[in-house]
Amino acid sequence: MPKAKYVLALDQGTTGTHVSILDTKLQVVGRSYKEFTQHFPKPSWVEHDLDEIWASSEWCIARALKHAGLRGKDIAAIGITNQRETTGLWMRGSGQPLSHAIVWQDRRTAEQCRRLKEQGVEPRVREVTGLVVDPYFSGTKLTWMFDHLKGARAKAEKGDVCFGTIDTWLVYKLTGGAAHVTDVSNASRTLLMDLTTLQWSDEMRAMLSVPAACLPQIRGSAEVYGTTRGMRSLPDGIPVAGMAGDQQAALFGQACFEPGESKCTYGTGAFLLMNTGSEPVRSSAGLLTTVAWRLGGTGTTTYALEGSSFIAGAAVQWMRDGLKVIKRAPDIEALAASVKDSGDVVFVPALAGLGAPHWRPEARGLFAGIDRSTTVAHMARAVLEGIALQIHDLAEAMRRDSGRDIPVFKADGGAAANNLLMQFQADVLGVPLVRPRNLETTSLGAAFLGGLGAGIWDSPEAIRRAWKAEKTFKPKMKSDARERHLAKWKRAVERA
């Protein structure tokens, strides 16, 4: 075991950067957070400044060390987790970005995606990559950058330009430009990686006109990619030894190591991932097939099915900011609990359309079943129930696609602190729901992977033993009541 006893988790999110420092018992001893600027140059365009992201990372590392009362030499390893699909280009030698990064939320390539679909390529894209043709993913963003940044394509063809998602950028900066790498989980979100070979697909690269020389090397999720060099708060030589996209890191942080084990992160939206084992499972319900992680350079690859609901905590924010029926987001639980049920009111949280398994972008939010007896408390309860019911639909799609039952359902994210929501989720799923002691499972997953890659832990089993549940919600609802809820929900979704 390395002499130093702490792991630093660098969690680079969409609106800010978190750094957590954990000891070998996985207790957080120091943390910090810093927001950075969101750039909106045109409607539906979203950009980030790569240099500002790196500055926020350096600032957070220094503050977390100070908070923990540690020095840089006390860090044994670094693990990274990141917003996925956000796309950047920079000069290989200097690290100078060619432009702002294009964020995963950006929709500027919608027309390009429409043309690709009209060409009939989507079935082949799904077969090779497990993804759908959508502006969400990195590939079309990268095509746009090469088409619009003067000289970028020629420089990339000569090998002078690096492409990377945020994980790649952070490792490049941490190692002083020595490492140009990504891990399999992030590479699987680009539209450019073959899910079976875990290598860049020449076919997809040609379809999107991406030069091979700009692509990073694809590596495992827990191995040493390089060591720190030239940083202000950390000495040279600390191994950067783990990384995974944020949702995959949360799945790992929840110790979902067996096929069928699932987690749902309840944030602004909700992301449900199921471990499907060592073979990719192709979806017939519009779910995404993705790599969860690969341990070591040549270890076993674990795959996952992923489904996302666009609106989860955002519905509660809407109740607070739009309808102004609550002052703080946590207040919705007490308001909802003030009535014994939702009074037959159903809420479909399609405030940004419906994602998997419905895929109805034209759908809109809907309250159904309102009568003279309806109060804001009934509506608040219906909002929480609607969040859980859309996750039920994703879970059922995953059961069908994978042929597996979900033995236990693990929840994390800010809204997982809501006991009423968690109990109703367990009730409609019909399986126990477990909430961990540490809800920051994304950072925890990054730390786990970094520690594994650096040899601080020797196997995921050590992590499973360290994982602690805070509360288990067992299903209490009778089957006939559950079926009534699901029937009302189905009718409301058809009307949304």
**Binding positions:** 14-15, 84-85, 136, 246-247, 268, 313, 317, 414, 418
Q: Which residues pair with 219 in a beta bridge?
A: 183
Residue 472 vs residues 273, 431, 487: alpha-carbon distances, Å: 19, 10, 26
Residue 381 vs residues 42, 321, 335, 367, 424: alpha-carbon distances, Å: 37, 17, 8, 12, 10
Q: What are the binding residues for glycerol?
A: 84-85, 136, 246-247
The Cα 168–Cα 337 span in angstroms is 45
Please say whether the dihedral angle defined by the alpha carbons of residues 8, 11, 16 and 18, taken in this order, is positive or negative.
negative
Residue type, 434: V
Nearest partner of 35 among 16, 52, 12, judged by Cα: 16
CB contact at 8 A, 63 and 32: yes
Q: What are the binding residues for ADP?
A: 14, 268, 313, 414, 418
Nearest partner of 168 among 90, 59, 251, 56, judged by Cα: 90
List, in sequence order, the alpha helices (H) in 229-312: 246-253
Nearest partner of 261 among 247, 245, 277, 249, judged by Cα: 277
CB contact at 8 A, 244 and 221: yes
The Cα 57–Cα 23 span in angstroms is 20
DSSP classification of residue 85? S
Please say whether the dihedral angle defined by the alpha carbons of residues 201, 124, 264 and 325, taken in this order, is positive or negative.
positive
Instruction: Look at strands 217-219 and 181-183 and give their pairing.
Output: parallel
Angle at 112 between CA 109 and CA 116, to 5 degrees: 135
The Cα 2–Cα 5 span in angstroms is 7
The Cα 445–Cα 20 span in angstroms is 11
CB contact at 8 A, 53 and 171: no
**Count of CB atoms within 10 A of residue 132's CB?**
19
The Cα 327–Cα 321 span in angstroms is 8
